[in-house]
Structure 1
Amino acid sequence: MPPSKPRPWVPEHVLVTAAAAEQPHTAEVLRRVEAAGVDDVRLLTGNRLTGLTEGSERWVYARAKKTLALVVAPPSAIKPQPIPPSADWRIDLAKGCPAHCQYCYLAGSLTGPPVTRAYANLDDVLAGIGTHAGRGAVTSGTAERDHEGTTYELSCYTDPLGIEHLTGSLAEAVRRVGTGVYGDEVSLRFTTKFDAVDELVALPHGRRTRMRVSVNAEEVAGRFEGGTSPVAARIDALRRVASAGYRVGLTIAPVMPVEGWREQYAALLDAVGTALADVPDLDLTTEVITHRFTPGSREVLLGWYPRTRLEMDESVRTAKRNKFGGTKYVYPRETMAEMRGWFTDALAARLPGAPLLYWT
């Protein structure tokens, strides 16, 4: 039997700021929102999202996760930012995600309730692809990855596929880059925990977009990744887009040394290898990211998920400080070395020809 999967996210509330209402892309978003059956669509008289912090912390979280806001990206969000080791530059189509991952990467980096904010000024957002082409330090001009051109990561602050049925922004970006609107030497990257790729496989992508699926051990995905597509469905989506000529990848994250982790991750890699075995001209990469947290994200996550069984015990972790004075907690050096060695060998054995771009 095919794996069961949740229905596409349909927000209960859609808020459209006054500035967003004036953008050309807004009409397409509202068309999709109406087609999804959303009844509560409100056109605001101003550009502030108000009334979202009233009530208990749990109520604020629950309401925010049921809300899509269509807003205008400010100048600070439009200018591409370096995003090593993933890509040359970051382009944000939205901020926020409808999923309920208990280790949420956004918990410590976004302010206010976790409303999903989609950017209506899509032309402005995508313009940075053209202005920054030929620049960058991760793929552009490097011996190892120059064939990818200047790369733009679309999934730093959202899962673009999880909201694509409501926004259409990802398809428009893929189409423009695929048809050479911003030149021939640029490419897009995004990672997702969803599997709704019907629209993507029919696009003129020009092999200039790499879709990666975020995958994990069965225990981790089943326990901590609420509201997402099952891992088996994600792998099938990866097979479908690879068969349609897309470059593809695995984002194995966040890796956790749960009981039986070697066997679980081995089974995962074997499932991917089987799914992609007959794909012609396969271009597959891998990225491995271990679980980490900050004091701020830990506090937010425990407020959102007070009964979580996610291990966030600072006493069994190693503290690492960045150049800005921030602290994150990672696994001890011995654990990291053991996992890195295992993944390096397992990937080479089970997915030969799929380079490991980075481990962190």
Structure 2
Amino acid sequence: MARPRDLLDVTTIYHEPAVPDFSRGREILDRFPGAERIVVPSHWNIPSLHGNAGSVEDWVRIKRSTLVLGVKKGLAMRPNGRSAHFIAPSTSNGCAMACAYCYVPRRKGFANPISVFVNVEAIAAAIVRHAARQGPLGTPDTIDPALWVYDLGENGDLSVDAMVSDTVRDLVALFRDIPNAKASFATKAVNRDLLAYDPQGKTRIRFSLMPERIARIVDVRTAPIPERIAAIDDFVAAGYEVHLNFSPVILYEGWEADWCALFDAVDGAIGPAARAQLKAEIILLTHNADLHAVNLGWHPKAEDLLWRPDIQEAKVSEGGGANLRYRTGWKGKWLARFKALLAERMPYCTVRYAF
């Protein structure tokens, strides 16, 4: 498992020509003065970096040593209705971590390091305008009782992005001043620099958790599960709303006992303040045949857990992708069992969303 400070040692930066025209672009380039700079027409089109599933043996090296900088073109908010009301324009995509089940690499090339967008002011202004048009949240819902929630980290991990630039600090500050909205992002890293960002209850961090022995296999380059659990109270004390993201739930012989042990570990580690505000999401594994084929080239042990055609079925996702999910009917029974085990051990932890 990688610690946050071990995740990045940037030696190569690919960047679009306009990046130095932005203050955030100059800030990032200055932060890594020894890195080789390579100008590219588009952050989406870097043939030597993207789209080569055969380079799996280089994934960790690329994720540690390579950074991509670009300018975000689309600034639209997308309705969500699950983890958040809206998906905000991403300030990044890609990740320094390499979880074996991650869907993001398939969209931009399997060796997908962090890409950061430097037009932060435009992204922030788009969020402010959109929130202003919404007015107050009329009816409390399962996403939030009082505020519109904007997911900021759909395609990356903001805890790690905060090591690259001040964008995450700026976003936390932005939502402090938006009266009718809060930010939200999920993370598998523990970056304690975020404790000084003063969110004042307007940013929700969702720590992703799974049984520790399984995380050691599939959560590649992430913070250890005990470290994530130990951070919960500290982030609550720092002014964050902290929820849990039980994701992905992977089914295998003995999964119930492993998850019960995880629930007991969380219950024994957190105090009254965290319990009073704790809620959770539950997301069962979605896999993909193409990713399975690639994983066999670098991490076949993970596929022993992820690839279970005996209990999975093909299903087209909302985005049109051909994925594998646990079989209809059985999935509902397993999900009900999971929720029952959670309620037994952590009755104070409301389930906001389960899929």
TM-score normalized by structure 2? 0.87
Aligned pairs, number? 346
Contact 1:134/1:149, CA 8 A, preserved across alignment: no
Could you say what the CA RMSD is over the residues aligned between the two structures, in angstroms?
2.8
- Equivalent residue number for residue 344 of structure 2: 349
Shift of 1:237: 1.8
* Alpha carbons of structure 1 residues 7 and 119: separation in structure 2 relative to 1, 3 Å: same
Structure 2 stretches lacking a partner, 5+ long: none
- Partners of 2:2 and 2:110 lie apart in 1 by 33
For 1:49-198, list aligned pairs within 5 A. Answer: 49=46, 51-52=48-49, 56-58=54-56, 61=59, 64-65=62-63, 66-75=65-74, 78-91=75-88, 92-111=90-109, 113-133=111-131, 140-144=137-141, 145-178=143-176, 180=177, 183-197=178-192
User: Equivalents in 1 of 2:209, 2:307: separation in Å?
Assistant: 20
Indicate if the aligned counterparts of 2:4 and 2:223 stay in contact, CA closer than 8 A.
yes
Please give the TM-score of this superposition, normalised by the length of structure 1: 0.85
Specify the code of the residue in structure 2 equivalent to 1:96: G
1:128-277 matches, cutoff 5 A: 128-133=126-131, 140-144=137-141, 145-178=143-176, 180=177, 183-197=178-192, 199-277=193-271
In structure 2, what is the equivalent of residue 8 of structure 1?
A: 6
Identity over aligned pairs, percent:
25
Query: Amino acid of the residue matched to residue 87 of structure 1?
Result: A
Asked if structure 1 preserves the Cα contact closer than 8 Å seen for 2:275 and 2:349, the reply is no
Q: 1:31 to 1:299 in 2, by over 3 A?
A: same
Q: Find the counterpart in structure 1 of residue 32 from structure 2.
A: 33
- Mean CA deviation greater in 279-288 or 48-57: 48-57
Residues 341/155 of structure 1: CA separation in 2 closer, same or farther (3 Å cut): same
**1:329 Cα deviation after fit:** 1.5
Find 1:295's aligned residue among 285, 289, 292: 289
**Is the contact made by 2:80 and 2:87 (CA closer than 8 Å) also made in structure 1?**
yes
How far did 1:172 drift? 1.1
Q: 1:162 to 1:304 in 2, by over 3 A?
A: farther
User: Judging changes above 3 Å, is the alpha-carbon distance between structure 1 residues 31 and 235 closer, same or farther for their aligned structure 2 residues?
Assistant: farther
Deviation at 1:58, TM superposition (A): 3.1
Superimposed CA distance per residue, residues 147-204 of structure 1 (whole angstroms, 9 cap, x where no aligned partner): 34111112210011123111221111001211x0xx201100001010112x222223
